[in-house]
Amino acid sequence: MRTPSDLNCHRGYEWALMKQAVARNPDIALYGLPWGWPGWLGFGSTNPYSNVSATADYVARWCECAREAHNLSISAVGLWNEADSYWNASTFEYILALRARLDAAGMTHIRIVAPDGQIGPAASTMALNASLKAAIWALGAHYPGASGSTAQERRLGLRLWSSEDY
């Protein structure tokens, strides 16, 4: 979506890649992770979480395109590639808004992986915020095979998702 009203479910080569992956392995899990955002989401800032409902709608509409235009079922979505510096109250609001938007669209099966990168600060927050923890399916970490996980992260009882590894 190049603007809020520019929904084109056929733009991009990723749809063809996902269809081919599903054709080869019907049980494959499809995961979406934004690496960047259209500028209009920030409403004048570079932070897409400045309007969490617009950003949640953007991601949910992508999932709806997968379902409705391509007969693809997205299994999980991440927040934002390597955006550890944005782990704050706006991010928490976004996660809750995304969960609500996905649920409202009948996509309760789509799981949320958060954060993407270093999970220590996220684990600390989730330990204190039951609603936030309940909305998150897995902790998204970079190179968990090399760095492992901490006792605090394991106590949360969430899966450890390798969002980037060797």
Q: Which residues are catalytic?
A: 82, 164
**Taking a C-beta distance cutoff of 8 angstroms, is the pair 86, 116 a contact?**
no
Among the residues of 25-106, which ranges form H helices? 52-70, 89-104
Here the tokens at position 89 are 């109250």
DSSP 98-144: HHHHHHHTT-TT-EEE--SB--HHHHHHHHH-HHHHHH-SEEEEESH
